[in-house]
Structure 1
Amino acid sequence: MGFDRQRTFEEVMIEYLSHAAQTQRSFDTTQHRVKALREFFAGRVMNDLSGKDIREYSSLRSKAGKSPATINRELAALSAAINWCAVELEWKIPNPVKGRTLREAESRVRWITRAEVDSLCRSARTQRFGDLLEDFIRLAVNTGCRKEEMIGLEWRRVDLASRLFYLEGEHTKAGKRRSIPLNEGAMSALKGRMSFRAENCPASPWVFSRRTGEKVVDLSDGFEGACKKAGIKDFRIHDLRHTCAAWLVSAGVPLIEVRDLLGHSTVQMTEKYAHLAPARVRDAVSVLDKPMSQSRYTDNPAGRAEGALKLVST
């Protein structure tokens, strides 16, 4: 293998995508990002890639209306491809992406109140397959699970007696297994799906299935229709997950426990909800008003995930 051979963008991406196709759960997303990169870098000799090229790419994508977050994810795909070829194939190519990402705004946190959830569910019930959509909404806001985690949920992983369902690594974004405790709101949603299954498709393995027993593929159209009818604007399916987190944090559940429930890989990902816990901060500073001997402020371990979810039961 010649270390000084000139390598094109296409060569790098073919090698990297061949690897990524076998290892990444989000391979479709990676392909989408590489498509955007190809429009600018097609035919480029990667050995000569410089910081100027990265800045030009970022500028063009910004002018095209793309957000800093989107541009950074695209550049991250380029960086990952370069790094993989440099390490695994020992290609001598530079990585000028390092240190040249754009500053991002705070991540979006959109959530709704319990009254708005009830309104959304009433709107859902008026639509075709409305009971299914309502159960999906109720399960989402009471567990904080991602859309894919719920749509792919099988009955064999649901334990109503123990009030849990289980997600294996293959079902989660972080690739780690976790168990999801079920409060009354979640139990009610699952019992609704169980009744539907018994009446229409008793052999179906899927919690969210059609009358034929086939797995539900997408609920986006029905969800958007319910939001519109309920007058809830700028609200996406993923925001149901934000809603669960917001309710938990507002009720005083520690961020580290919310992290465990949602399956975040780091507590930093959960910190975007920290501003919703002003009471916790007030309790903390109130310690300064008392002599140390009178302070009762301690780290209360009582709010484990299962107990915490009782606070958001709907």
Structure 2
Amino acid sequence: MTRTQAIKAEKEAKKALKINRKFSEICEKRLMDLKVRRTFRYYKENENLIKGLVKIWGGKNVINREDVEVYINSKKSPTQANKELKMIKRLFQHAVERDWLETNPAKNIKLLPVSKKRKYIPPQEDIIKFMVSAGKDRFYFLTIVYTLARMREINYLKWEDVYSDYLILKTRKARNSDLTERRIPINEILKYILEQLPKKGEYVFCQNNGKPYDCRKRLMAGICKRAGIKRFSFHSLRHYGASKLAEAGAPLTAIQAILGHSRATTTDTYLQSLGMKKTEVMNSLTIKSPP
């Protein structure tokens, strides 16, 4: 046997040692991993996708690029197609890393072109109408505006993380990942808001039983309807705050830090760096209506 033949034989032997799994088994293992490591929402999104894929690819031992492309091209929305393609790529990569598959059939499939819609930012007059209609929950929503926080960050904000001139927001990208912290300067209006809030327990905003809120999307939708304004989301409040900071001349780096973006490209590209510090930036954020 020549050296070339020996190398070829060795490669074939290694191939034979690799574990072969049916697609349904790969999916089952992937979901078990996601349930432990990722958020419940992300797990459910993958579970819904995988249920559909199992019906199509079921007991197949081999799934090729064409199979994936046919599935992705069957989606009516390019946005949804791209979202599912990303999850499919991660599904197969999970199997490749564990030697259940030799290659990832979706690896080199490019995302579909998407025309990005401009994010809706409610005008200030709608924000004011919203806050008036929010009633007793007004301070909750104003805190989101004056911190540019995510809904979940405010829901789980504790009094122990509120200091005289700043507060600490905490977020977790995945279930088993470390908490990421960032400091947000407290401007005069936010300071007034926090001073008015009753301390019912460890959380700044909580239910009557002291437990933190989970999701308040229905509350927000109801307030928009009551105020007679176009419906917007919690994330729109972050965009509103970021746009006001940009108008005030805040630098990209300061707004990026306040929003908690890991990459500058995530922060809106129209923001320009003009040299203001974080504290000065937060002091420039205001709604022209008393809280």
Tell me if 1:71 matches 2:75.
no
Instruction: Tell me how far apart the structure 2 counterparts of residues 250 and 3 of structure 1 sit (CA, whole Å).
Output: 61
Tell me if 1:85 matches 2:82.
no
Tell me if 1:155 matches 2:172.
no
Tell me if 1:121 matches 2:134.
no
Distance 1:19 1:36, change over 3 A: closer
CA RMSD of aligned residues (A): 2.7
Deviation, 1:169, is: 5.1
Deviation string, structure 1 residues 118-157 (Cα, Å, up to 9, x no partner): 21111111xxxxx2x2112111111110000000111111
Distance 1:155 1:46, change over 3 A: farther
Distance 1:263 1:77, change over 3 A: same
3-state SS of paired residue (1:61): coil
Of the three residues 103, 122, 135, the one matched with 1:112 is 122
Matches of residues 32-47 of structure 1 in structure 2 within 5 Å?
Answer: 32-42=45-55, 43-44=57-58
Instruction: Tell me how far apart the structure 2 counterparts of residues 27 and 213 of structure 1 sit (CA, whole Å).
Output: 23
Of the three residues 205, 214, 232, the one matched with 1:217 is 214
Match of 2:169 in 1: 167
**C-alpha contact (below 8 Å) 2:153/2:171 kept by paired residues:** no
Q: Which amino acid aligns with 2:47?
A: V
Q: Which amino acid aligns with 1:157?
A: D
Deviation, 1:46, is: 6.1
TM-score after normalising by structure 2:
0.82
Q: Which amino acid aligns with 2:157?
A: L
Distance 1:300 1:235, change over 3 A: closer
Please list every run of 5 or more consecutive structure 1 residues that lacks an aligned counterpart in the other structure.
126-130, 281-298
Distance 1:61 1:241, change over 3 A: same
**C-alpha contact (below 8 Å) 2:73/2:81 kept by paired residues:** no
Instruction: Tell me how far apart the structure 1 counterparts of residues 171 and 65 of structure 2 sit (CA, whole Å).
Output: 37
Identity rate, percent: 21
Moved more, 80-89 or 184-193: 184-193
3-state SS of paired residue (2:229): coil
Of the three residues 21, 29, 38, the one matched with 2:42 is 29
Number of aligned residue pairs: give it. Answer: 270
TM-score after normalising by structure 1:
0.76
Q: Which amino acid aligns with 1:206?
A: Y
Matches of residues 246-285 of structure 1 in structure 2 within 5 Å?
Answer: 246-272=243-269, 274=270
3-state SS of paired residue (1:166): strand
Instruction: Tell me how far apart the structure 2 counterparts of residues 20 and 37 of structure 1 sit (CA, whole Å).
Output: 12
Q: Which amino acid aligns with 2:51?
A: R
